Amino acid sequence: MGNLEERLENYFNEDYLPMHMPGHKRNIKLLGEKLPYRIDITEIDGFDDLHHPEGIIKEIEEKAKKIYKSNKSFILVNGSTCGILAGIRSVVNYGDKVVVARNSHKSIYNAIELNGLNPIYVLPKIDKNGINKEIKASDVETIFGKNRDIKLVIITSPTYEGVLSDIKTIVNVAHKYKVPVLVDEAHGAHLNFMKNSNYEALNCGADIVIQSLHKTLPALTGTAILHIQGDLVKEENIRRELSIFETSSPSYILMSSIDECLSLIESNGKKLFLDYQENLKYFYNEARKLKKLKILGNEILNKNNNGKSKEKIRKELYDFGKIVIITKNTNITGKELADILREDYKIEIEMSSTYYIIAMTSICDNKESFERLLNALKEIDLKLVEEKVKEEANNDFTYYDVDLPRKAMPINEALNSKKFVLENYKNLEGKISKEYIFAYPPGIPIITPGEVFDKNIINIIENYMKANIELRSTFDKFPNIEIVDF
């Protein structure tokens, strides 16, 4: 029968008259072939139904299940976002208490709002470069010790910067209390295929795992997968929630892309991932020659290598597929490095922050891509001036080491409050935020609705602004912010 793309192509060639959606009617005579109208169909006879798969879509989901070794996999065309909303709602009731990593993506906060959840935050430390470190299982355990009514644990691993958490131990803690663990593995769809990887969430026993295929694998934007395993999560609940949060007109182009991506991994994944890891190794080794710029992966390796056995070194909690380049102790910010790479070298990176940038890689980067990035970095490095930043003068990212801002009311209550005033962020000490404030990417909130502004938060905002990092707020009027008024 062929894969989905072949079937769609055959269907086009059969020349059926489409008296149905979509309105482009595959009329390539009128519309041309720049966009893939030929294979863009709707859920017609013989092409299955994403929300009730029994045919070709079921086959793709079976393929995903086999490759990822899940109990059940659901393909998604609205990104990890819809998987996260559906996954969370499938196991909670309105108002439930949940453990949530504070460094969560906004989709998780949106789920908290929609379900009126009571989040108990688990706080990662922040390193000297402003990067969130791993979530500690011992911190999750402490929260369970104090709260007997937790219904779900929500962790992001790997993070945007590639930091992995010890999901296995976190799962062990939660499962002692029969509580499921949902892992936002949006950045980790590739991990299962990397050699020596020990921290992929399914392998570690997580109950619900959501992965964006489009972020780290060769798949079109918007494609993702939700996997489940174990008996704490019900397949029918996930299906029901997906029917709420996912479009009723799923793109066959996106579903074909998922199919193609999975087939490529099945047929050629071993070689592609071996080559990829060779290229990464080459990059990291060569990058050691940089004098002023530092690479996070190498810093972690240096630290881990100190007196540890080879076996231990392999198990570092880090995804080396993320190349995080640190500009701290140089005369430029991360944002400035990103600008130089774009303007002088035509290299577009994924994200820049005050002290670092993230370059994303995948099996689709060949040796030349890694060399091009390396050569640019080497040239830039030669021109940089070393500037030792005094740590004590620079303790601007101690947000999570200090306490979280005080919570005055639940997120949804603050967001829905009808009484509010607009104020400049500088005048907000002691006031309750009605908004999220975050840098996007990565979309992790500095403050959430219902939390009270304090000096520390205002400092953090100012430090982002000094580094020219664009901040956004829920109602888009930053630097003015809506605050709850009684």
Q: Binding residues for ligand PLP, per CB under 6 A?
A: 79-81, 105, 107, 156, 160, 184, 186-187, 212, 224, 442
64 φ, ψ to 5°?
-60, -45
Output 110 or 147, the one with its CB closest to ligand PLP. Answer: 110
The residue among 160 and 252 lying less far from ligand PLP, judged by its C-beta, is 160
> In the bound complex, what is the minimum distance in angstroms from residue 189's beta carbon to ligand PLP?
10
The dihedrals phi and psi of 189, each to the nearest 5 degrees, come to -65, -20
CB of residue 103 to ligand PLP, shortest distance in Å: 9
Question: In whole angstroms, how close is the CB of 105 to ligand PLP at the nearest point?
Answer: 3
CB of 79 to ligand PLP, least distance (A): 2
Nearer to ligand PLP, 105 or 328 (CB): 105
* 184, 211 contact by CB (below 8 A): no
CB nearest ligand PLP: which residue?
A: 79
Whether the CB-CB separation of 43 and 184 falls below 8 Å is answered with no
Residue 407 tokens read as 């919570």
Q: How far is the CB of 212 from ligand PLP (least distance, A)?
A: 4
Give the span between the Cα atoms of 324 and 14, in whole angstroms. Answer: 49
Residue type for position 17: L
Handedness of CA 128, 132, 135, 138 (dihedral sign): positive
Instruction: Give the Å distances, CA to CA, from 321 to 100, 141, 164, 194, 345.
Output: 25, 30, 12, 10, 21
Distance in Å, CB of 238 to ligand PLP, minimum: 16
Q: Among residues 77 and 280, whose Cβ is nearest to ligand PLP?
A: 77
**188-205 exposure pattern, b = at least 16 Cβ within 10 A, e = fewer:** bbbbbbbeebbbbbbbbb
Q: Provide, rounded to whole angstroms, the least separation between the CB of residue 45 and ligand PLP.
A: 30
Token duo for residue 137: 């299982």
Closer to ligand PLP at the Cβ: 47 or 74?
A: 74
Pick between residue 186 and residue 265 the one whose CB is nearest to ligand PLP.
186
Q: Which CB atom, from 76 or from 384, has the smaller least distance to ligand PLP?
A: 76
State the Cα–Cα distance between residues 225 and 80, nearest whole angstrom. 7
**How far apart are alpha carbons 239 and 54 in whole angstroms?**
13
